[in-house]
Amino acid sequence: MQHRISTNTNLVAFSRDGKRTMDKLIPLYAKAGYKVLDLNFCEMMNPYSILNTEDAENYIEKLGKQKKEFGLEYIQAHAPYPKDYLSLPPSERKASDDSVIKAMKWAAELEIPHIVVHPIKGSIDENVRYFSSLIEKQEKPIRIAIENMETREEIWDADSLITIANELQPFTGICLDTGHAHIAGEDIPSFIKKTGDLLIGTHIADNNGKEDQHLLPGFGTIAWEDVIKAFKESYSGYLNYECMYFQRHLPQSFSGDVINLSLSLGDWLLSL
């Protein structure tokens, strides 16, 4: 089962007892049976995160040691993001860029093949310029997986993502967020087939079609039977959970149950 299922490190990061960082969570996933993880550098969006301090490099080194200690593979990472990049003053745009560039550098150091970056709220041309700038500023090369967003005022559809990614080859690909696609009214199986070889990453999450709830599969209204059929026909990568809100109203003591449930749901998905 682990050859196709992975999870973002944020799966049980949030609970009614507070938040936990990646280094505290990775051992939990490894001991439960996960072999493949997606590192959540969105931790940088917390101003008090260790990733925003002089100890950041030691933290990254620790994540590398945990990778070896538990025999893990880090197959994806997620960069921090602004809510409305083009509305920011120049100083805040630069700060946002610097955070993304740092995340890209750390992901490359940890030998992660690609990093998910949100498109900005703007046109296709504005996004091409934005991603071109990030590519030019890279300290170490890493491929960018551009994620589909959930509103039609943003970059949400397969055609727009394909246009952007094709303009920036071989430096970019596409990450499908199933939850975002469901909210936007996108035909998810069609998205999978249309993006083809450009589809290099996934965020697997469910919702009610209205809110980005980040639920585990089966707890929302996505037709997983059709989605998994399309994945099996057109995609050979990992089905990677991004379900960080699933446990947020439960105490941390339920973390093991939630992790085990996610693994069992992975078996169910792959059986469809």
DSSP letters along 79-137, please?
A: ----SSGGGS-HHHHHHHHHHHHHHHHHHHHTT-SEEEEPPPSS-HHHHHHHHHHHHHH
Q: Which CATH number fits domain 5-271: 2.40.50.180, 3.20.20.150, 3.90.199.10, 3.40.50.1110?
A: 3.20.20.150
Side chain identity, residue 193: K
Where in the chain are the domains?
Answer: 5-271
**Is the pLDDT score of 2 beyond 50?**
no
Side chain identity, residue 259: I
Confidence of residue 233 (pLDDT cuts 50, 70, 90): very high
Average of per-residue pLDDT across 187-205? 98
By the 8 A CB rule, do 246 and 11 touch? yes
pLDDT tens digits, residue range 73-118? 999 999 999 989 999 999 999 999 999 999 999 999 999 999 999 9
CA distance 96 to 32: 35
- According to DSSP, residue 250 is labeled S
Quote the crossing angle between the two packed helices 158-167 and 124-137, to the nearest 10°. Answer: 40
- State the pLDDT at residue 193: 98
pLDDT tens digits, residue range 35-88? 999 999 999 999 999 999 999 999 999 999 999 999 999 999 999 999 899 999
Alpha-helical segments (H) within 110-171: 124-137, 158-167
- State the pLDDT at residue 139: 85
